[in-house]
Structure 1
Amino acid sequence: MKFFKGLTIFSLFMVLLGCGEKESENVLKVWAWDPNFNIKAINLAQENFNKKNPDNQIQLEIVEMSRVDLEQKLITVLSTEDKSTYPDILLLGDRNAPMILATYKSAFTELQDVIKYEDFAQYKVNGMTIDDKVYGVPFDSGVTGIYYRKDILNMAGYNENDLENITWNRFIEIGKDVKEKTKIDMITFVPNEMTMYETILQSQGSNYFKPDGSVNLVGNEAAKDSLSIIKSMLDNKIVKQATDWTTFVGAVNGGTAASSVSGSWFTATVMGAPEQKGLWRMAPTPRVDNGLGINASNEGGASWYVMNTNRKDLSKKFLAETLGSDIDLYQILLKEAGVVGTYLPAGKGEVYAAGVDFFGGQKIYQDFIKWMSLVPEVEYGRYYGEVTSNIMMLLPDYYIGKISEDELLERAQEKTEQMIKK
């Protein structure tokens, strides 16, 4: 009797052990930042997946950290080549992903067999492609536009049509007129950061590197024009100069600047002043009048990646069935988390098609999808961080006329090339 009793207990133990193993197989470790945006989105994707797969549900074990901390920790675990320390899925910023992928390609899993990349904005796909193999699921869009106060422009005699598909030169002309008539600066940004510069640069299909990986600053007319446009805005005194994120948002929500050229993720921040409902509108990003520029660009954004772990097949299935293909999920993400995805078919959904009262009923999300499809592909390169640091150090001297555009770009390229050779 004791034998059978012992056997029963042993059998029960083995069953429980087996259940534990099965459960752990369906637990996916995720690294990400921003609980109200990225992490909320991946949790909504999990709910969506589990509803469609009741017999094969997954559980996400999410580790939240800042983007900088995530990338630093990732480099640390990748250098050990210990797969047990890898997350199964992680989020990477689009500008730093090429460097990480190129250096540690074998640690990531190819996804072209489960994702239809022609359904995504191609400028996002480019940054996650190495040797015709694609390693990520494009996620949120940083597609840019002009967020502007319709009432302030009306005071100066302008309407919505006056900002449609204009050049930066025309934007500056309007800005000077608005400043003279209303005493309000036309635009706000942080001059000593790279955000505005990179927005103008990418709208011309250019960035810091050439396809072969060499630095692309000296002789780059798009880079020179981007600098001169920013300096022209500053010299014409149409910029409410911000020093950081807080003062930037304060100028937008406080009405001391008439506009901001920002990524689509900025929508929630603009709507942070509910008393301004109906006063805001969107227009396409201004273009550079040099034959290279178009009225579309990008600022920021991130994508999801699958690591080469024992659970990579389940991770691929999860992302493919959710963020890689589900139009209905993207309606939920937009409605509940404010995510403007780069999955182009999502624009056919009812939430994307709806007018937004805060913007006077304008269908801004359909506009974002339209502009997103136009954003030029560019090379961010393996040494993106080094280039941006070297340019930023020289901006103050450039703004006061101490150095020219050519001198700034020559010095920044020389410094970057020295760092690369080390």
Structure 2
Amino acid sequence: MKRMKKLVVLMGIIATLIIAGCSSNSSGGDGKDKDGKVTLTAWAWNVNVGALNEAIKTYEKENPDVKLKVEDIGRLDVYDKLSTGLAAGGVGLPDIVLVEDDRIHGYVEAFPDGFVNLSEKGFKDHEDKFPSFKNDLAQVDGDYYAMPFDAGPSGMFYRRSIFEEAGVKAEDIETWDDFLEAGKTIKDKTGVAAMPLDMFKDDPTFRMMLNQQGAFYFDEKGNIDLTNPKAVKAMEIQKEFADADLIKNVDGWNGTVSATADGSVATIPFGAWYYGTIVDQAKDTSGDWGVFPLPAIEEGGNRAANLGGGGWMIPASSKNADAAYKFMEFFSTDTDTQIMAMEDYGLFPSLNTAYDSEVFTEGVEFFGGQEIWSLFADEMKDIPTAYYTKDYSLALDEAIKAQADMFNGAKADKALEDAAKRLKDRTKRDINN
């Protein structure tokens, strides 16, 4: 009987601790230590950690009662820990967490009470400071649940020396058909492939082609959109490059980086963030790089697309939600802070006012003096919204399978139709016909 009583008491203590850990103080005051200071915790990874740590130094000058502890726990580890904590009602979560754009809606859909509604804190007042696609990705049902941060306006990073040897001019490439012919010339004259792609395990080029056409895996209503003629066209374009032996089939990220450094590809179609990788991994190629916009699907078509980017979210379980909001509001909307994040860490800003900075009109020596940042900035207003939904990871898996099937000989429309059917079975979503 005594053991039973002890067990009951112990279970009561555990329940109390869980309830205390799960309680949300997002609308009230912030927890302060005995010295009257608030220590915020944040989860992030890679260069984002450095950007946060630099920003808090500036913020502390006007707000000496706020400290920040950033935990660099790796991108996938962040999501594992975040999902586990949300499933447990918020236990063990930080005050601030970085979430990529393709996951924001999914988290809010899966855990509708898991994050602070930032519009209720006043972030709606900043709506005109960001491009429309970033607002769409940060909002759910018209309310902000994330503060827009970095973006990935896309472009074609290219080797000037390879283009010159082949007699190809980047400014003459306006469509994917133009690039196909240029790629053939480059291959014939230099033996170099047009671009890299992990043909059977990733589909970044397909995603950019979809996005520039205003399409994606899902439509605005959340229906599966892989059978859209725009998706078929994007797949068929890639097949034309493969048939002409213009794609270097690489092994994942490391394979792309190796091809970048060794000059075995003439271009790398990627987001603006790839600038940092080129500068870091191909140091001896300074001055030999340039950027031109993503080719249009058809003459006069849109050349703007996004690949990558994220925003900052505040878990509803935070006991320091007010202080977290104020710091992240500063981080997200302060021009100097966003310029610092770009110049020091290669994080392209979503903040419109940042584009008025002198850095966007300065030539970049590594890129032959080209004003690459203004090229990317000009693109931001024309980027359509991609609709990810909570089933994005499943759709990505099926799109990659469709791409692999196509490269293995299946027709693009049949490969995408089969992928859409499989995705319907996995998600119970309708197919947009």
User: TM-score by structure 1 length?
Assistant: 0.89
User: 1:104 aligns to what?
Assistant: 111
Distance in 2, Cα, partners of 1:158 & 1:395: 29
User: 2:390 aligns to what?
Assistant: 382
Native 8 Å contact 1:101 1:128 kept in 2: no
Aligned AA for 1:378?
A: A
Q: Offset of 1:274 from its aligned partner?
A: 2.4
Distance in 2, Cα, partners of 1:396 & 1:290: 28
Whether 1:116 aligns to 2:126 is yes
SS at match of 2:150: coil
Distance in 2, Cα, partners of 1:161 & 1:213: 37
Q: Deviations over 1:180-215 (max 9, x none)?
A: 111111212222212111111111111111222221
Aligned AA for 2:115?
A: F
User: 1:133 aligns to what?
Assistant: 143
RMSD after superposition: 1.9
Q: Among 403, 423, 432, which residue is 1:416 paired with? A: 423
Aligned AA for 2:395?
A: V
Q: Offset of 1:84 from its aligned partner?
A: 4.6
User: TM-score by structure 2 length?
Assistant: 0.86
Whether 1:209 aligns to 2:224 is no
Q: How does 1:134-153 map to 2 (within 5 A)?
A: 134-153=144-163
Q: Among 18, 29, 33, which residue is 1:20 paired with? A: 33
Runs of 4+ in 1 over 6 A off after TM superposition: none
Q: Deviations over 1:264-302 (max 9, x none)?
A: 1100111232221111111011111188x4111111112
Aligned AA for 1:116?
A: H
* CA pair 149-294 structure 1, distance change in 2 beyond 3 A: same
SS at match of 2:382: coil
Native 8 Å contact 1:355 1:364 kept in 2: yes
User: 1:49 aligns to what?
Assistant: 59
Q: Offset of 1:22 from its aligned partner?
A: 4.6
Q: Deviations over 1:226-279 (max 9, x none)?
A: 111111111111122212212211111111111111111100111232221111
Distance in 2, Cα, partners of 1:217 & 1:159: 34
User: 2:17 aligns to what?
Assistant: none
Q: How does 1:141-220 map to 2 (within 5 A)?
A: 141-163=151-173, 166-192=174-200, 193-218=202-227, 220=228
Q: Among 208, 215, 239, which residue is 1:231 paired with? A: 239
Native 8 Å contact 1:213 1:382 kept in 2: no
Aligned-residue sequence identity (percent) comes to 28
Q: Among 38, 46, 53, which residue is 2:48 paired with? A: 38
Distance in 2, Cα, partners of 1:212 & 1:330: 33
Aligned AA for 2:78?
A: L
* CA pair 21-415 structure 1, distance change in 2 beyond 3 A: farther
Aligned AA for 1:202?
A: N
Count of residues paired in the alignment: 393
User: 2:84 aligns to what?
Assistant: 76
Structure 1 gap ranges (5+) = 1-17
Distance in 1, Cα, partners of 2:33 & 2:166: 68
Whether 1:349 aligns to 2:357 is yes
Distance in 2, Cα, partners of 1:118 & 1:410: 39
Q: Offset of 1:340 from its aligned partner?
A: 1.2
User: 110-119 or 408-417: which moved more?
Assistant: 110-119
Distance in 2, Cα, partners of 1:313 & 1:84: 19
* CA pair 412-290 structure 1, distance change in 2 beyond 3 A: farther
Q: Offset of 1:351 from its aligned partner?
A: 2.5
Q: Among 292, 305, 308, which residue is 1:283 paired with? A: 292
Q: Offset of 1:406 from its aligned partner?
A: 2.0
Whether 1:322 aligns to 2:334 is no
Whether 1:95 aligns to 2:106 is no
